[in-house]
Amino acid sequence: MKEMYESDLYGEKNPTWHEEDSAWKAGHIERMIKRNKIPSDRICEVGCGTGEILLTLEKAFPTTSLSGYEISPEAFRRAAPKETPNTKFYLKDLLAESDLHFDVVLAIDVIEHVEDYISFIKKLKEFGTFKIFHIPLDLSAQSILRAWPIAELRRNVGHVQYFFKQTALATLEDCGYTIVDHCYTASRLELPNQAFSSRMMRLPRRLMFSLNADFAVRLLGGYSLLVLAK
């Protein structure tokens, strides 16, 4: 699947590179950092895409040094012209670098794209004191029963790993991380321009989530997991 990002294939299938979701993701990241009062003088994002998450975070943390690493030439071409004195982008594999250490490393919607995700997560550990992962919870009762949503994620956005909450957290712990904080994020409820089927499911998702969040996510899906780990 790495070839999907190093070629133009991902951009052809996803021409916006999901820039429209960046402010929403950055908002959740900002709240996670501030809620836990963790150091944030140096923030790095692995798989930064076109850089919009970091550029949004710069507004929240104006004295922070932000670095984005991306292996896609197309995404980097879109990010590079937007560099600022505080936010820099690199067409490099972060894990191939040496002598780099950040307060916070972001892996936002990344590990589900990585074939050897266990090695990736273990290697990432040395690059930051804290890590923030955003992990789509693709596995739910409805997605398994319908089957095609997972097949579409594989075909169109390159998901090759599929998680629910318990396996996501267990994976990080098995890789040597300590979970500091975690919460659900609700893209299907909070983001605009959702498919008709997602709009129809908003009320059931809200009602069930208010009664039993874990059960609602396992049954209906439509959520991701934001995890702060050390």
- Whether 50 shows a pLDDT value over 90: the answer reads yes
| pLDDT given at position 197 | 65
Question: How confident is residue 1, by pLDDT bands cut at 50, 70 and 90?
Answer: low
128 in any annotated domain: yes
Of 194 and 109, which is predicted with more confidence?
A: 109
218 in any annotated domain: no
- Whether 195 shows a pLDDT value over 80: the answer reads no
Mean pLDDT (the chain) is: 92
Domain limits for position 49: 2-188+224-229
Average pLDDT over residues 80-99: 97
- Whether 180 shows a pLDDT value over 90: the answer reads yes
209 in any annotated domain: no
Query: Which pLDDT tens digit goes with each residue over 8-37?
Result: 788 778 888 889 999 999 999 999 999 999
Alpha-carbon separation of residue 78 from 5, 10, 30, 60 (angstroms): 14, 14, 23, 22
Average pLDDT over residues 181-206: 76
42 in any annotated domain: yes
Spatial separation of the C-alpha atoms in residues 137 and 143, rounded to whole Å: 10
19 in any annotated domain: yes
Assigned token pair, 95? 């894990």
Under DSSP, is residue 63 helix (H, G, I), strand (E, B) or coil? Answer: coil
CATH number, domain containing residue 123:
3.40.50.150
Spatial separation of the C-alpha atoms in residues 5 and 32, rounded to whole Å: 28
Spatial separation of the C-alpha atoms in residues 140 and 218, rounded to whole Å: 5
For the chain, how many structural domains are there in total? 1
| pLDDT given at position 198 | 63
Query: Which pLDDT tens digit goes with each residue over 124-164?
Result: 999 999 999 999 999 999 999 999 989 999 998 899 999 99
| pLDDT given at position 194 | 62
The answer to whether the pTM exceeds 0.85 is yes
Contact 115, 89 (CB under 8 A): no
- Whether 106 shows a pLDDT value over 80: the answer reads yes
Average pLDDT over residues 169-187: 96
- Whether 192 shows a pLDDT value over 70: the answer reads no
| pLDDT given at position 204 | 78
| pLDDT given at position 187 | 79
194 in any annotated domain: no
Q: Report the 10 Å Cβ neighbour count for 192.
A: 8
216 in any annotated domain: no
Of 156 and 107, which is predicted with more confidence?
A: 107
Contact 132, 43 (CB under 8 A): no
Burial 41-53 (b: 16+ CB within 10 A, else e): ebbbbbbbbbbbb
Residues 136, 223, 157, 149: is their CA dihedral positive or negative? Answer: positive
First to last CA, the chain: 28
- Helix (H) or strand (E) holding 185, with range, is strand 179-185
217 in any annotated domain: no
